[in-house]
Structure 1
Amino acid sequence: MKEKGMIRVTKTKKGHFDAKLDIGGKILPAPFLKQTDDSLNGKECEIVREKGQVKELWIDGTMRYGQRKQQEKTYSLPDSLSIKDTFLPKDTRELDIQDIDNFGLKLNKAARYEKGWRREQADYKFVFHKPKKDTKKENIPGFMIRADFRNLPIEMLAQRNRDAVEKSLSYVETISLHFPGKLAIGLGQHSVYETSLTLHPVYGMPYLPGSSLKGVAANYVIAEYFGGEEKTAYEDDGFVLLFGNQKHKGSVSFFDALPTAHPNVEVDMLTPHYGAYYGKGRAPGDYGKPVPVPFLVVKNTPFQVMIGTKENSIIPDGKWKGKKVLDVAREELVRALMETGIGAKTAIGYGAGEIE
């Protein structure tokens, strides 16, 4: 049930803008409503509360905070989880475990181990997806790993992350980044499978490491402004101030980006056509046999990207002379994520972000 209220924005002694919600004369804190001015002061709004906590905030018919509940997905294949077919301890394999809440544990610790489903893979291997095959010669029921994050308090984790960052630094920029298409992050990391997916070490959900965000921004800047010459970039005072070098630490911190809604993880397919050329050095040709390789992607998921600095100093010289360091970092990071993307397979459209 929605309750009507009003937004109150006041300026603090430090010059920041603090937003609160006035619901029938009762004032509620709204740390999730970040403001750079008082333009929303006096604005009417609607909220949805659960056990006293604000779960949704609507302004002019648009949800500005909160998330719609993830609907239970329908799958064409059964789940890949099979405890008896893992390398878990014997007493664990004898338990009747139907599902594992933490997707990271489910994917990497309870990895299914069985005979390969292709002729060239007659040996046993770890698999999370097997296509269904029903012919006169063979009948393979198939399976695919299911990712369900509905039990994760995504909203609370994102808010806690924001609070921690804002307490640690004086100047912070928050960017709402949405991936309407597919995102393949950590595809080539070490894994028991042929491919991988970057998952949070504690919560088991997909996330964007801060080091990856910094790398994307730095590479974009080097290619865009310095002709792809890293040595030339390190001669620029602004670049060094932003990203650092071997002698000096960069003044801008790039934090891990957590999802702000339940992630959608799906199975995608990579089909190398010239395996013999890459693996055995044979001449490439159209006579090669395509070998499909399943991999996991994140689809249609928003993320909270945060960067910050202790001192938002003015760049003294170089490409961005006279600009504030955090303003430049935000501008170039946004351009990099929108124009080049992040993760693997960006050349064919994967990892392209949109700013909400």
Structure 2
Amino acid sequence: MKYYTNYKPENLKNASLYYDKFVYHEANPEDLKKIKDDYKDILINLDKNIIKKNIEIIKNIRIQMINKIKKHYNVKTYIVKNKTPFLIGAGIPSIDEIGFYWSRNYGLPIIPGTSIKGAFRKYIESNNDLKSIIDVVFGNAEKKGYIDFLDAIPINTIKLNIDYQTPHFQEYYMNNQPPNDVYNPIPLNYLNVSNGTFRIDLLISADSNEVINIINIHFKYFLEYFGIGAKTSMGYGRFKIQELSNFDRR
């Protein structure tokens, strides 16, 4: 593999390529802590003009897509702003202990539609009154569900931040030692999205107003109070709806 040996942080145009590939190339055991700290600072201080340009590209692609398919679906578009930080892809392999998800093509933090779908299903399953509509919403082995979840894409400025956690029983988790207070806690830091405005599109193939209304009511509640991504039990991943648009195929 040929490496770009003249690389400089100010030349960075795709955060995903840097995070997934180049950071590994720079890493070495003797200086690993410095590399881990430096790459986060580089990503947090990305060129705002490049980010803005990439956001405009992905935003325009989404608008064109919805304009083409809204004749075939009832489309609900939610413009949301995160009330609390969120973290997607914590389990993705990375140079750090905690991963982070980037759009490979656009180098932007996005929320995959599969993550939204999985979290919304968990919310539905946790509500006994809604379990009867699980197959209607998500489908089963015999029938497709009524909703397609598109990726949540940024449509405005994104702010990344660093947060910390301090595991107290590392020997217990990693080396099968008994849990004990004698182990030294080792602080970890990780990236999150602390501020951003995102567009979420749901493609609903149901024609029943009752089904559509149920989905809408509970999806809004899910965004505000249930959360998406990692660390929702700590308050992560809550969103405030700024705007809701409906494109009715009928």
Is the counterpart of residue 331 in structure 1 residue 217 in structure 2?
A: yes
Choose 1 or 2 for highest CA Rg.
1
Q: Matched residue pairs, number? A: 233
Question: 1:347, 1:249 → 2: CA distance?
Answer: 31
Residue 28 (structure 2) aligns with: 114
Question: What is the distance in 1 between the residues matched to 2:215 and 2:179?
Answer: 43
Q: Does 1:150 align with 2:46?
A: no
Superposed counterparts of 1:240-255, under 5 Å = 240-255=135-150
Structure 1 gap segments, 5+ residues each: 1-87, 118-123, 131-141, 228-232, 315-322
- Note closer, same or farther for the CA distance 1:161–1:293 as it changes in structure 2 (3 Å cut): same
Tell whether 2:115 aligns with 1:201. no
1:297 aligns with 2:192: yes
> Is residue 160–residue 195 contact of structure 2 (8 Å, CA) maintained in 1?
no
Per-residue displacement from partner, 1:77-114 (whole Å, max 9, x unpaired)? xxxxxxxxxxx635x22x25343111111212210303
The answer to whether the Cα contact below 8 Å between 2:58 and 2:106 also exists between their aligned partners in 1 is: no
Q: Displacement, 1:163?
A: 2.8
In 2, distance between residues paired with 1:143 and 1:202? Answer: 20
In structure 2, the partner of 1:216 is 119
Q: TM-score, normalised by structure 1?
A: 0.60
Q: 1:327 to 1:166 in 2, by over 3 A?
A: farther
> Residue 224 of structure 2 aligns to which amino acid in structure 1?
M
Contact 2:224/2:238 (<8 A) preserved? yes
Q: Counterpart in 2 of 1:306? A: 201
SS at match of 2:127: helix
> Aligned partners of 2:200 and 2:18: how far apart in 1?
26
Q: 2:65 aligns with which of 164, 170, 186?
A: 164
SS of match in other structure, 2:43: coil
C-alpha change, 1:263 and 1:113, in structure 2 (3 Å) is same
- Segments of structure 2 that go 5 or more residues without pairing to the other structure are 243-250
Higher normalized strand content (fraction of residues): 1
User: In the alignment, what sits opposite 2:14?
Assistant: 102
Aligned match of 1:285: 180
Cα–Cα, structure 1 residues 150 and 200, in superposed 2: closer, same or farther, change >3 Å?
same
Query: Which sits farther off after the overlay, 168-177 or 187-196?
Result: 187-196
How do 1:1-356 residues align onto structure 2 when only pairs under 5 Å count?
Answer: 89=2, 92-93=4-5, 95=6, 97-98=8-9, 99-111=11-23, 112-115=26-29, 127-129=35-37, 144-147=41-44, 148=46, 149-152=48-51, 153=53, 154-168=55-69, 169-225=72-128, 233=131, 236=132, 238-310=133-205, 312-314=206-208, 323-356=209-242
> What corresponds to 1:4 in structure 2?
none
Higher RCO by CA contacts (8 Å cutoff, separation 6 or greater): 2
Identity of aligned residues (%): 25
Alignment match, 1:49: none
Superposition deviation, residue 176 in structure 1: 1.1
Across the aligned residues of Structure 1 and Structure 2, the Cα RMSD in angstroms comes to 2.4
Q: 2 CA distance for matches of 1:106 and 1:212?
A: 23
Give deviations 1:172-231, integer Å, cap 9, x for gaps: 11111111321111111223432211111200100011111111111111101259xxxx
Structure richer in helix, relative to its length: 2
State the shift of 1:156 in Å: 4.5
